[in-house]
Amino acid sequence: QVPKDKWFCCDDCKRIYGALQSSVSNGVQIIPTSFSNVIRRRHLEKGVFIDEATDCVQWCILSGKSHYPEDLPLLSSAAAIFQECFDPIVAKSGCDLIPVMVYGRSISGQEFGGMYCVVLIVRSVVVSAGLLRIFGREIAELPMVATTREHQGKGYFQALFACIERFLSSLNVESLMLPAAEEALSIWTEKFGFTKMKEQQLMNYQKQLQVTVFKGTSMLVKKVQQIPNNSVNLPDNFPSE
């Protein structure tokens, strides 16, 4: 008999769920100095004016089911960024999947309840966002990432990805996978260390998990850096997002 309350297949899943809930309740956090330095460097390279905003860039993990009033505008901003950067992702029912994923809903047999939204914030404005789902210690997925056009190429997504990888490392998650469009393959493989996932491996995951796959994309995977002292090796010369 399945318990009525929340239940977990193993201690690792229980631990990861607890860490996610704690991160959501902790709210907005200032990113590490090493990450903000990358943003400053990218601003300098592009000749963009730098002010104190680069020293107080923040990030947070959001749940679409959040009851915190301060989270709702951030979730709405993240959904708007995805809709700005991507064509509508339409389910069989005709519904746009982007808000469904952001708010962790289920539709047409697809369950997005375990999806979390990770955002980077500058002066109370969300500039970059990603959707993250952790399936357990073995693997997590990052099915969608985007940066507002105004802020692309300034190192913001690079910093956001570093925050995500550091968080996954703290949970001892081993691998991260994501669906990549053809035009973005070289960015992910050359700058972030992803490789194409073998077809059999993807099929095995799809049998066990609700993996997010988009038409016309290739599934990529990388080992999560196991990071000592909360540091991350950030890629140099990162191109515009």
Q: Give tens-digit pLDDT for 130-162.
A: 999 999 999 999 999 999 999 998 899 999 999
Asked if the structure places residue 151 within a domain, the reply is yes
Asked if the structure places residue 1 within a domain, the reply is no
Share of the chain above pLDDT 70, in %: 85
Asked if the structure places residue 2 within a domain, the reply is no
Domain that holds residue 185: 11-230
Q: Please tell me the total count of domains within the chain.
A: 1
pLDDT score recorded for residue 6? 58
Q: Rounded to an integer, what is the distance from CA 165 to the centroid of its chain?
A: 9
pTM above 0.85, yes or no: yes
Asked if the structure places residue 199 within a domain, the reply is yes
For 220, residues 6+ apart whose C-beta sits below 8 A from its C-beta are 177, 178, 179, 180, 185, 188, 189, 194, 195, 196, 197
Asked if the structure places residue 84 within a domain, the reply is yes
Contact 79, 102 (CB under 8 A): yes
Asked if the structure places residue 3 within a domain, the reply is no
Q: Which CATH number is 72's domain given?
A: 3.40.630.30
Q: 7-44 pLDDT, tens per residue?
A: 556 677 888 989 999 999 999 999 998 888 888 888 88
Tokens of 229: 């002292």
Asked if the structure places residue 236 within a domain, the reply is no
Assess whether pLDDT exceeds 90 at residue 56.
Answer: no
Asked if the structure places residue 241 within a domain, the reply is no
Mean pLDDT of 191-208: 95
Output the average pLDDT for the chain.
86
